[in-house]
Amino acid sequence: MKNIILCGIGGQGTVLASKLIASAAMSKGIPVMSAETIGMAQRGGNVFSNLRMGEGIHSPMIPKGQADIIIGFEPGETVRMVDYLKSGGTIVTNRRAIMPTTATLSGFHYDGDEMIDYLKRLDVNLIVVDGDEALKELGSSKVLNIVLLGAAIRSGVLGLSEEDVIKSMESLVKPQFMELNKKAIYYI
Amino acid sequence: MHEEFMMGNQAIAMGAIAAGVNLVAGYPGTPSSEVLETVAKNRPDGCYVEWSVNEKSAMEVAAGAAYTGARALVTMKQVGLNVASDPLMSLEYIGVKGGMVVLVADDPGPISSQTEQDTRTFAMYSKLPCFDPTSVAEAYQMIIDAFDYSEKYNTPVFLRPTTRVCHAYQSISIKDESEYYVNSIEGFVKDSKRWVIFPKLSNLNHRLIEERNDTLSTVFSKYELNTIDNADSSNSRAIAASGICYSYVCDVLEEIEGEKPAVLKVATPFPFPYDLSGDFLVNHSDVLCFEELDPVIERALNYQCGQEGINCNVRGKFTNDSIRSGEYNIDLVRDRIYDYLGIERYETTRADKPELPVRPPVLCAGCPHRASFYAVKQAMKGSKTIYCGDIGCYTLGNAMPLDMVDTCLCMGAGLGIAQGVNHIEPDTKCFAFVGDSTFFASAITGVVNAVYNQADMTLIVLDNSTTAMTGHQPHPGTGRTMMGDVVNKISIEAVLKGIGVETVREVDPLDYELAVKTVKEVADEPGVKAIIFKSPCIAIVKPNEPYNICSGECISCKKCINEIGCPAIYLDNGKVTIDESLCTGCGLCSKLCPVKAIRRAGEGS
Ligand SMILES: Cc1ncc(C[n+]2csc(CCOP(=O)(O)OP(=O)(O)O)c2C)c(N)n1
Ligand code: SF4
Ligand code: SF4
């Protein structure tokens, strides 16, 4: 059984990344269940996807302490989900923090580096991705999800290869974006 | 049969298609909307699909179809059922000829809704059978079964999934096209004794309904999805569950070692399968119930214990063994089961987490609603006002710094509330904000009421050419139907004029100066007057070129952040910056920059 959490902010593309993993796993004959945040939170609120692969699973929701990997699109959102990660689990997180407008207005102190420092102190395998750098080099602001997915694949936890995911892209990604997405998945 | 990975709502739609559905009508609402959209996308020949103007219309359209012998599906979210309850409560007495399934998606939490109402309770109140799936796979099977039961017993039946079933994905077995049921439609047969409701007919049918429900209770005790797991467990403590909670219970029981307790799964909360539950209760000393929203199972089991003198301690919400409101989750269910079975809980939280900012949903960068709210706010500065909001993306106009929603109740209510306040406080400038989809769904009668009763108020229609909040569905003002036709757009302006609103002004809210000027002029007129702010939702049009902040010129007054709260503008190490990947180039921020430092690349100062 494998439990995967993707988390971030509505609009960052967590849903497509989760669909790609699910479809790649299924084409290998692995049963998959998943759950998505759909609704109000998609307008810039915090969102997550739960993905569960393997036999003997009844609900799509991952219990606390049982995720094998968290793929976080924003460091604070990654921290929000750490209770779900099992001890010794893997975290792939984007470095760039996004300050909620409400926090900017209220003067709430929020610092992405502090989030990363906290994650470093945990009993986990931490992979920090400089998403900004990657997107600049790739020349597109739309492929953060694929860059992070590539890093997660490289961690070995998903049990999937880049080729597996590229194959599932063919039905889920528009043809004109295939080249860019392929580059993004191999970026890290 | 073949395997497919699909969302719960897609499974329900594909199940309806496999059951030979002939007509689907609904009104969007999270978490139900994908059902109708999926049927439309996979629409078989001879199947008619529409987004109706609201749930009441959808219910009536579906009823008409079912009167002819067609199989009909009507879809909505839980609060939609309140709107559709008038036709449904009467339809209960008339019944149907073709199968009719009323799909109502409940939303424990609530996650994207105004209320935590429970459609299972509504089923009891309306005396209509109800099916409650625990998973995507079960939802697929249940809608097919629901059509059969509906047709067999000539009654509409409910299918009520909750958010975690609607929006879960699972690989499930679904039927091939060759296995689809094909419904032959007899057509409407005139018979006023059957189709025309009168007190006498209702009296007669009420008796039959009660008898039918007694029969169904017995029939449902044998329904294959009402089950008892681990029935021969020697543990005297047992569990009863429904919906997604049942799946949580199963996951938790997978974890525990040794003998597992018996579990009663209730797939038909109404009519309750008392024969099955009676057998279950007599064999146990305690039953712990897991169900979200109302204690429907718990109440039924308690009732049965009292009625039949069964000595079993039924526990749940009434006994504070479960939470009484809000969404359940697997961790909560695990902790309660561990306590109940005397297993030691284990710690799952990590200590010393840094404090995290809350991240409430906000209007998108470039959302035209932001410009509309800001224009009204600026125009009315210094006046005594009330801003009655309504339901849609524009409810998010309540957030700081806009702070432009003083009330919000249910779809269309803002108009009535503005009138009520106006009659008591004539010196308050009363505004009602309503979205275009909401206008057609439930605001028109409010305008008629205001005009007829001589209210003094300003109606602001936020026309973004779509039903944005629920996923951008078309509506009567868009001129597109779910059958793929392009039809005449219904003009909001013409509707208002037709009602007798004399001042109706249409303005682009992104034309900031004109927008402010228009509000000032219109708000000063007496009686009912309207402004239509027309500008499309950013999700349905291509973005314009983004704006930049010339750092040399920016004086860091932060007016752009403090006044409009566009999420594309942020502080980067104290420097005001625009995130170009988010900015849609609406230009609103550039209008308020006192030193004109916000410009498009290439635009001079
Ligand atoms: C009775 C009822 N039906 C459906 C819904 C779900 N719902 C929430 S907002 C909305 C419509 C929003 O569309 P619109 O008024 O055009 O505003 P927009 O989101 O586009 O700003 C709907 C249908 C609801 N809350 N209540
Ligand atoms: S132009 Fe200004 S207000 Fe409009 S989307 Fe861009 S940053 Fe936001
Ligand atoms: S989806 Fe459209 S209407 Fe809703 S907040 Fe975004 S821009 Fe505004």
Domain ranges of chain A: 2-185
- Tell me if B393 and A35 make a contact (CB, 8 A cut-off): no
Confidence category of residue B598, pLDDT binned at 50, 70, 90: very high
CA angle B46-B50-B53, nearest 5°?
A: 155
Q: Show residues of chain A in contact with B359, CB under 8 Å.
A: 9, 44-46, 77, 100, 102
How close A55 comes to chain B (CA, Å)?
Answer: 11
Cβ–Cβ < 8 Å for B77, B48 = no
Name every residue whose Cβ is closer than 8 Å to that of residue B277 and which is 6 or more positions away in sequence: B221, B240, B264, B266, B300, B301, B304
The answer to whether the B227-341 and B547-600 domains have the same CATH topology is no
Is residue B421 within 8 A of residue B389, CB to CB? The reply is: no
- Sheet bearing A67-72, strands edge to edge: A125-129, A85-94, A67-72, A2-9, A46-53, A32-36, B168-174, B2-7
Side-chain-side CA neighbours of residue B397 (13 Å):
30
Residue A76 is nearest to which of B357, B361, B396, comparing CB atoms?
A: B357
The answer, yes or no, to whether residue B603 has pLDDT greater than 80, is no
Residue from B86, B583, B126, B164 nearest B367 by CA: B583
SS (H, E, C) B323-361: CCCCCCCHHHHHHHHHHHHCCCCCCCCCCCCCCCCCCCC
> Ligand 1 site: residues with CB under 6 angstroms?
B 27-29, 77, 79-80, 83, 391-394, 411, 435-438, 464, 466-470
B363: which chain A residues are within 8 Å (Cβ-Cβ)? 43
pLDDT of residue B516: 98
Q: Which CATH number fits domain B368-534: 3.40.190.10, 3.40.50.970, 3.30.70.20, 3.40.50.620?
A: 3.40.50.970
B574 touches A: beta carbon within 8 Å = no
B356 interface with A at CB cutoff 8 Å: yes
Cα gap A58→B170, rounded to integer Å: 10
Q: What is the distance, to the nearest Å, from the Cα of residue A42 to the centroid of all Cα atoms in its chain?
A: 15
Q: What sign for the dihedral angle of Cα B472, B475, B478, B483?
A: positive
| CA nearest to B218, candidates B268, B148, B256, B167 | B268
Written as one letter, the residue type at B212 is: R
Residues of chain A in contact with residue B580, where contact means CB-CB under 8 angstroms, are 141
**Can you tell me whether residue A92 is helix, strand or coil?**
strand
Query: Could you give the CA distance from residue A148 to residue A152 in angstroms, rounded to a whole number?
Result: 6
Cα–Cα distances in Å, from B483 out to B44, B51, B184, B438? 11, 10, 22, 21
Q: Is the pLDDT of residue B248 over 70?
A: yes
pLDDT, tens digit, 9 for 90 and up, residues B110-144: 999 999 999 999 999 999 999 999 999 999 999 99
- A105: nearest CA partner in chain B: B562
Chain A contact for B239 (CB, 8 A cutoff): no
pLDDT for A24: 95
Q: Which residue has the tokens 């566009």?
A: B566
Ligand 2 pocket test: which of B508, B589, B598 has the largest number of ligand atoms within 8 Å of its C-beta? B589
Superfamily of domain B2-215: Thiamin diphosphate (ThDP)-binding fold, Pyr/PP domains (3.40.50.970)
CA distance B479 to A16: 30
Higher model confidence: residue A41 or residue B316? Answer: B316
- Give the integer Cα–Cα distance in Å for B547 and B505: 29
Contact assessment for residue B254 and residue B283, using Cβ atoms and an 8 Å cutoff = no
Residue B510 CB less than 6 A away from ligand 2: no
Q: Please check whether residue B473 touches A, CB under 8 A.
A: no
| Stronger pLDDT, B573 or B169, i.e. the higher one | B169
- The dihedral sign for the CA sequence B59, B61, B62, B67: positive
pTM: 0.96
Q: Is residue A186 pLDDT above 90, yes or no? A: yes
Residue B387: name the closest of B421, B362, B412 by CA.
B421
- B522-569 residue pLDDT tens: 999 999 999 999 999 999 999 999 999 998 999 999 999 999 999 999
Probe residue for ligand 3, chosen from B393, B394, B534 as the CB with the greatest number of ligand atoms within 8 Å:
B393
What is the arithmetic mean of pLDDT over B297-301?
Answer: 98
The answer to whether B357 touches B390, Cβ cutoff 8 Å, is: no
Please, which pLDDT band fits residue B605 given cuts at 50, 70 and 90?
low
How confident is the model over A13-27, as a mean pLDDT?
94
Q: What is the mean pLDDT of residues A172-188?
A: 92
DSSP letters, A37-84, are --SGGGTTSEEEEEEEESSS---SSPPTT-EEEEEESSHHHHHHTGGG
Q: Is B96 left (phi over 0), alpha (psi -120 to 50) or beta?
A: beta
* ipTM score assigned to the predicted complex: 0.94
Interhelix angle B444-452/B413-424, rounded to 10 degrees, is 20
* Gap between the Cα atoms of A158 and B228, Å rounded: 36
Chain B residues close to A65, C-beta within 8 Å: 346, 348
From the list B68, B54, B96, the residue with the least C-alpha distance to B185 is: B68
Between helix A144-154 and helix A178-185 the angle, nearest 10°, is 40
Find tokens 């000063």 and name the residue.
B524
End-to-end C-alpha distance for chain B, whole angstroms: 66
When scoring B249, B350, B466, B575 by the number of chain A Cβ atoms within 10 A, the one with the most, hence best to mutate, is B350
Total residues belonging to chain B: 605
In 3D space, the residue among B117, B120, B101 whose CA is nearest the CA of residue B18 turns out to be: B101
**B469 touches A: beta carbon within 8 Å:** yes
Asked if A94 and A71 touch (Cβ cutoff 8 Å), the reply is no
Average pLDDT over residues B56-66: 98
Name the β-bridge partners of A90. A69, A125
Residues on chain A touching B565 (C-beta within 8 angstroms): 101-102, 105
Interchain contact B580–A (C-beta under 8 A):
yes
In 3D space, the residue among A122, A73, A40, A36 whose CA is nearest the CA of residue B10 turns out to be A36
When CB atoms are compared, the residue of A45, A105, A118 closest to B361 is A45
Number of residues that make up chain A: 188
Q: Write out chain A residues lying below 8 Å of B358, CB-based.
A: 100, 102-103
b/e map B370-396, b = 16+ CB within 10 Å: bbbbbbbbebbeeeebbbbbbbbbbbb
Q: What is the pLDDT of residue B346?
A: 86
What is the residue-averaged pLDDT of chain A? Answer: 94
Contact B248 A23 (CB under 8 A): no
Query: How is residue B512 written in tokens?
Result: 């900031």
pLDDT of residue A103: 85
Residues B250 and A58: their CA atoms lie apart, in Å, by: 6
Fold of B547-600: Alpha-Beta Plaits (3.30.70)
Tally: H helices and E strands in chain B: 21, 22
Tell me if the domain spanning B227-341 has CATH number 3.40.50.920: yes
Instruction: Name the token pair of B365.
Output: 């960068």
Q: State the closest ligand 3 atom to the C-alpha of B538, by its place in the atom list counted from 1.
A: 7
pLDDT in tens, B265-287: 999 999 999 999 999 999 999 99
Q: Where are the domains of chain B?
A: 2-215, 227-341, 368-534, 547-600
* pLDDT at position B604: 64
Residue type at B246?
Answer: Y
Mean pLDDT of chain B: 97
pLDDT value at B602 more than 80? no
Cβ contacts of B362 within 8 Å, gap of 6 or more:
A43, A44, A45, A100, A101, A102, B396, B399, B565, B567
Inter-chain CB proximity B567 and A57 less than 8 Å: no
What local confidence, expressed as pLDDT, does residue B352 receive? Answer: 87
The proportion of chain A whose per-residue pLDDT surpasses 70, expressed as a percent, equals 100
Rounded CA-CA distance A172/A17 in Å is: 10
Q: What is the DSSP string of B2-22?
A: EEEEEEHHHHHHHHHHHTT--
Do B244 and A39 make contact, defined as CB atoms within 8 angstroms? no
Answer whether A60 sits within 8 Å of B168, measured CB to CB.
yes
Residue from the list B135, B353, B567 with its beta carbon closest to the beta carbon of A44: B567
* Domain boundaries A2-185, corresponding CATH code: 3.40.920.10
The verdict on whether omega for the bond into residue B261 sits within 30 degrees of 0, i.e. cis, is: no
Q: Which of B409, B118, B96 is nearest to B242 (CA)?
A: B118
Asked whether the beta carbons of B221 and B276 are under 8 A apart, the reply is yes
**Token pair belonging to B542:** 């291509």
Backbone angles phi, psi at B181, to 5 degrees: -75, 135
Distant-in-sequence, close-in-space partners of B192: CB < 8 Å, separation ≥ 6 = none
